[in-house]
Amino acid sequence: MAFTDLSNSIFERSINDYHQTDNVDSPVNNPYTEKSIEYFLYLKNWIDTVQWHLEDIIRDPDIDPSEALLIKRRIDRSNQERTDLVELIDSYFLDRYKEIKALPGALINTESPAWAIDRLSILALKIYHMQQEADRKNATAERREQASNKLQILLAQRKDLSTAIEELFEDIKTGRKYMKVYRQMKMYNDPNLNPVLYAKTQ
């Protein structure tokens, strides 16, 4: 099975599992062997799915400001967890291709494999929710048609992105491209680099 096929199937399972309760506080029940790549893909999408719904909740114009602040802090933590997982998945690919020797003139890709997989995870969420809108009974026929047209574009986008990712894997395996991962340096989460935070300790 192609890696993108595996990823897409795991993302769909995670999204469907989440919507059994459709509750941002539901605990994750990861069905895959702990620390396997499947486990990390499922966890990555579960975090994305919870964050998707937190982003919906925080946009309620009538939300209590104190609750909104708590959700914003939760989204910040979620973003850091997402970044950490992407870097972990990239470590998997670095190990997988560590014996490959880059050819003379080999190129580097604009993004690492795991960040491309991250985009697939978000696309899976867009597809699921756009399908909901296309099927929504209390929406007008015009709105359902608009959603259906957008859904077709998203499905084509997932197919194209999956193809591009598989082509990247092939280029890396044959030495035509090489991986180089830059660890994210998010300064606002680091108490030693965020001036608002480190000012409090001086």
Q: Each residue's pLDDT tens digit in the chain (202 positions)?
A: 999 999 999 999 999 999 999 999 999 999 999 999 999 999 999 999 999 999 999 999 999 999 999 999 999 999 999 999 999 999 999 999 999 999 999 999 999 999 999 999 999 999 999 999 999 999 999 999 999 999 999 999 999 999 999 999 999 999 999 998 777 666 666 677 677 666 777 6
Count of CB atoms situated within 10 Å of the CB of 140: 9
* Distance in angstroms (rounded) separating the CA atoms of residues 87 and 184: 8
CA dihedral 177, 119, 117, 99 (to 10 degrees): 20
* Domain of residue 48, residue span: 3-201
Question: Rounded to whole angstroms, how far apart are CA atoms 73 and 71?
Answer: 5
Of 12, 30, 50, the residue nearest 128 (C-alpha): 12
Question: For position 180, what pLDDT does the model report?
Answer: 84
pLDDT on residue 201: 72
Number of folded domains in the chain?
1
